[in-house]
Chains A and B, each alone.
Chain A
C-alpha cells in the first residue's frame, strides 16, 4: 500500500495524534531488544515462532498428563482413578489440547520461523498481525484450560457432537468454554493464514519462483489455504452451538425438528481438512530433513508439490467418511468411500518419493533423520489402517472402537508429532545457535518409538476385539486386560521419551555456553534458511538474495567437476551471510496486538457469566484496534541511520498491516493508511542505502 509518499511537511493540524513523539505516552511504540517486554511486544517472526513452539511444548505436557490419566484409568478393568464425569472431561481436553493447542501451534512455530527465511524475506507481510495470532492462540488455550477451575472442563469429546454437547446432556459450562475457546484459537489461525499466504505469494526473493520454493514452504502454503477455508465453517458450527447453549436457539433442538447431522456435517467439513492441516506441515519437514541427510535432492520435487496440492483439494471431498454409520444413505456412503480411497494415492506418492530420496543416498542417521524416517514408517502404518476405514462395511465394524484410536494416533502422533520433533532437532541450531545433544536425542527417539508402538499398536487389537472408544471402564472378563495393561505401560515409556527431550534441551543449552559457535550451516543444508548466521539475526539476511534454482544455497556450495562429480566450490561460511548488516530497517514492536488478543477471552468469559465483562472485552478490542492503527508505523528513535526501507523486502511495518484490522472485519484500515504515510514515508526519501536491487546479485556472488 502506498506508505511511502507523504513528506512530513504536508502534515496538517490535528495530526499530532497519529504522529506522536515518544512523549505522547500511549501511542508510542515499545522499545528495547532484551527482557520480557521485548518478547511480549515483539513483531519479529522468529521470536513469535519460538514462542509458538514453547507454548506448544507446554501444552504437550498438559495434554500428555491428561493422556496418562486416561491410560491409568484403563490400565486394569474396573478402574477408579477418575469418575465417569472426570473421565469425559479428561479425554475431551486431551483431544482438544493435542489437536488445537499442540500440533497446530507447533506447525505455526515452524511456519513463522521458517517461511520468511525459506523464501528469502525479512519478515511476514503483517508483523503485528502475526504477533496478534500468537497471543490470540495463547489466550484461547489458557481460556480453555481455565475451565478446569471454573466448574468443569468440556466433556462432549473434541468433536463436540450436538445435541450431546447441548445444555440437556452437558449442563456444566464446559462446552461453552469449548465453543468459545476454539472460536478464539480459530481467529488466531485465520489471521495467521491470511498473513502467511500473503507472505508466500508476495514476498519471495527475486528469482524465488513458486516451483523453486522448498517443499516445506509449499506444504505450509497449502495448510494456510486449508485453514483459510476450513476455519469459517467450524466458526459457524461453534456459533450455532453457542447460540443454542447461551441464547436458547433451536439449531440442535431435536424436539423442534432439528437434525443432529447438521453438526456432524459442519464439524467434519472443517474436521477433515483439519486432519491435513495437522499432517502436511510434518510432511514438509520430512521433505526438508530427508534430502539433507541423504545428500540428495528431493526425489520428484514436482510430484511432492502437486501431491500436496492434490491432498489439499481432495481433503474437502472426504469428510463424510467420519459419518458412515450416521445413516446418511448408501449413495453418500459409496461416494465418500471412493473419494477416501482416492486420497490415499497422493499420500502414497509422497511416501514413495521419500523412500526414493533415500535410495542410493549417503545416509546420515542423525536424530532429525531418525525422527523423519520413523515418521514415514509410523505414518505408513496409520495410513494403511486409514484405508481400511474407507471400506465402509469394515468401517461400520470399526467405528467408535479403539481401532480408530490406534489409527489416528499413528498418523497424528506417529506422523505429525514425530515429523515435528524431527524439525525441532533439525532447525534447533538455526534458532538457538547450538545443536541438541545427538546421543541423548537418538536414545530419546528409540524410547519414544518403542513407547509409541507399545501404546498404540495394541489398540488395533483391542478395537478389533470390540473395545469401544470413550468408555470409562471395562469388565474383567471382556478379554481386554492384557493389551490395556501393555498400552498403559507404553504411555509411560512415551512420557519418559518426552522428558528426555526436555532434559536434552536443558543439557544442550548448558553445554553450549562457552562452546564455539555452530556456524550458519551445521548440517550441510539446502535451503535459504541456512544461508545466514545461527542463531538467525533479527534482520534475517544481510543482503537480498537472488535465487536461480531450487536448493539455491546448496548449489552455491557445491558444483560439478569435469567428470560430473560433485565437488565443493565454496565453504558454507563464505556463502552464508554473517549477520553483520546494521543498516536494515525493521518493523518496530507494538503494544496493541497483545491488548487486542487480551480482549478476546474477556468477551468469552462475559458471554458465559456476565455480559458486562463482554462489554469490557469489546472495548479493549475496539480501543486496541484503533490504537493499533493510530500508532506510528515505527519508533522514530529506534533507527538513527538512513534505513533501506525502499528495497527492504519486508519492512512494511505500519502500512502493511492496516489491512489487518479490516481483515478481521473491523473498520480501521481507513485511518491506518494515512498514519503510515508519515513516519516511514518521510525517511523513505532520504535513505536508499538499500539491500537488494539488481546489483545485489553481484554482491551475492562475491565470496
Chain B
C-alpha cells in the first residue's frame, strides 16, 4: 500500500519540525495535552484562591492575619525574580531552536536558578511567618495561606525538576532544534506557574484586607 504522498512525508521527516503523523488540528498531541492540562490547573488554583479568600474573610478579629506577617518589599523582590525566570525560559527556547546548545544550557540553568531563588525566598518567608507565630494550624488564615502558596511552590519545584531534566538531556546531546517542542512545553508550564503567581501576589499580598 505504499503511496507517493506517504513516502514523501517520511522522506521529509528529518528536516522539518512538524510531526510525522499529521494531526487533525495541526497541533502535536503533546502540546494539545499540555494546554488541556493547564486548563485543568486553572480550576485547581481557582478553587484554592477562592478557598483562601473565603477563609481570610472568616478570620476572627484579633487573630494573626495577613497584615501582621506580610513583608511586601521582600515578596516583591522574589516575585520579580520569578517573573524574570520566564524571560530566561524564553531565551533558552529561542537558543535551542537556533541550535545554540551552549546558550540553551546557560539560560536553562539561569531559569532553574531563578526558580530556585524564588523557592528559597518562600522557605525563608515561611520561616519568618512561623517565628512570628503563624503556624499551619494556628488559625484559618494560616491553613489557607500555607496551602495555597505551598501548592504553588510545589508546582515551581516540579518545574525546576523538569528544567534540570532538560539540562541533562541536553548534556547527553539529545536535545536539538528538532525536538525543541519538549522544551517549549516545559516553558508553557513554567509561564503558567508564573502567571498564577502574579494572581496570587496581587490577590493575596497586595490586597491583604
Say how far A7's CB is from chain B's closest CB, in angstroms. Answer: 7
- Residues of A contacting B144 in the complex (Cβ-Cβ under 8 angstroms): 251
The 8 A CB mask of B95-139 against A (1 = contact, 0 = none) is: 000000000000000000000000000000000000000001101
- Residues of B contacting A687 in the complex (Cβ-Cβ under 8 angstroms): 10
The 8 A CB mask of B12-38 against A (1 = contact, 0 = none) is: 011001111111110111111110110
A257/B58 in contact, CB under 8 A: yes
For residue A671, CB closer than 8 A to chain B, the reply is yes
Say how far A659's CB is from chain B's closest CB, in angstroms. Answer: 3
Say how far A690's CB is from chain B's closest CB, in angstroms. Answer: 4
A659/B44 in contact, CB under 8 A: no
Say how far A20's CB is from chain B's closest CB, in angstroms. Answer: 15
| CB-CB nearest in chain B for A660 | B33
For residue B60, CB closer than 8 A to chain A, the reply is yes
Evaluate whether A674 and B179 lie within 8 angstroms (CB atoms) in the complex, with A202-B29, A666-B158, A668-B165 already known. yes
Contact of B162 among A201, A228, A247, A669 (CB under 8 A): A669
Say how far B140's CB is from chain A's closest CB, in angstroms. Answer: 4
- Residues of A contacting B2 in the complex (Cβ-Cβ under 8 angstroms): 688-690
The 8 A CB mask of A211-255 against B (1 = contact, 0 = none) is: 000000000000000001111110111011001000111110100
Evaluate whether A673 and B179 lie within 8 angstroms (CB atoms) in the complex, with A14-B172, A659-B30 already known. yes
Contact of B3 among A14, A649, A690 (CB under 8 A): A690
For residue A572, CB closer than 8 A to chain B, the reply is no
7 extra interchain contacts, Cβ-Cβ under 8 A, other than A257-B59, A662-B186, A674-B172?
A: A1-B30, A125-B33, A201-B25, A202-B29, A659-B29, A659-B31, A670-B162
> CA separation between A14 and B29, bound complex, in Å?
29
A674/B40 in contact, CB under 8 A: no
B55/A671 in contact, CB under 8 A: no
Evaluate whether A229 and B43 lie within 8 angstroms (CB atoms) in the complex, with A202-B27, A251-B51, A667-B161 already known. yes
B140/A258 in contact, CB under 8 A: yes
Evaluate whether A659 and B7 lie within 8 angstroms (CB atoms) in the complex, with A1-B28, A670-B165 already known. no
- Residues of A contacting B175 in the complex (Cβ-Cβ under 8 angstroms): 670, 673-674
For residue B206, CB closer than 8 A to chain A, the reply is no
Q: What is the count of residue pairs linking A and B with beta-carbon distances less than 8 angstroms?
A: 274
For residue B173, CB closer than 8 A to chain A, the reply is yes
B182/A202 in contact, CB under 8 A: no
> CA separation between A411 and B104, bound complex, in Å?
56
The 8 A CB mask of B174-188 against A (1 = contact, 0 = none) is: 111011011101100
- Residues of A contacting B161 in the complex (Cβ-Cβ under 8 angstroms): 666-667
Kindly state the interface size class of chain A when it binds its partner.
35 or more
> CA separation between A225 and B170, bound complex, in Å?
35
Evaluate whether A229 and B40 lie within 8 angstroms (CB atoms) in the complex, with A202-B29, A644-B1, A646-B6 already known. yes
* Number of residues on chain B facing chain A (CB within 8 A): 77
A656/B140 in contact, CB under 8 A: no
For residue A204, CB closer than 8 A to chain B, the reply is yes
User: Which parts of A644-703 form the interface with B (CB within 8 Å)?
Assistant: 644-652, 655-656, 658-660, 662-663, 665-675, 677, 681, 684-685, 687-696, 699
| CB-CB nearest in chain A for B165 | A670
B14/A5 in contact, CB under 8 A: yes
- Residues of B contacting A644 in the complex (Cβ-Cβ under 8 angstroms): 1, 6
15 contacts between A and B (CB under 8 A): A1-B19, A2-B28, A3-B19, A6-B178, A125-B29, A126-B29, A231-B40, A249-B147, A250-B143, A258-B55, A258-B140, A652-B21, A655-B30, A656-B30, A688-B10
> CA separation between A693 and B3, bound complex, in Å?
7
Say how far A629's CB is from chain B's closest CB, in angstroms. Answer: 8
- Which residues of chain B have a CB within 8 Å of any CB of chain A? 1-7, 9-11, 13-14, 17-25, 27-34, 36-37, 39-41, 43-44, 47-48, 51, 54-55, 58-60, 136-137, 139-140, 142-144, 147, 155, 158-166, 168-169, 172-176, 178-179, 181-183, 185-186, 189
- Residues of A contacting B159 in the complex (Cβ-Cβ under 8 angstroms): 667
> CA separation between A229 and B38, bound complex, in Å?
10
A669/B29 in contact, CB under 8 A: no
B-contacting 9-mer, from A190-198, A274-282, A353-361: A190-198
A236/B47 in contact, CB under 8 A: yes
A194/B40 in contact, CB under 8 A: yes
**What are the nearest 6 A-B pairs in CB distance?**
A674-B174, A667-B162, A659-B30, A690-B6, A670-B166, A232-B44
User: Interface centre among A2, A3, A198, A266, by most B CB within 10 Å?
Assistant: A2
User: Interface centre among B59, B60, B159, B176, by most A CB within 10 Å?
Assistant: B176
- Residues of B contacting A677 in the complex (Cβ-Cβ under 8 angstroms): 174, 178-179
> CA separation between A647 and B7, bound complex, in Å?
9
| CB-CB nearest in chain B for A12 | B173
> CA separation between A208 and B23, bound complex, in Å?
12
User: Which parts of A130-170 form the interface with B (CB within 8 Å)?
Assistant: none
B44/A236 in contact, CB under 8 A: yes
Contact of A257 among B32, B40, B60 (CB under 8 A): B60
| CB-CB nearest in chain A for B23 | A202
For residue A4, CB closer than 8 A to chain B, the reply is yes
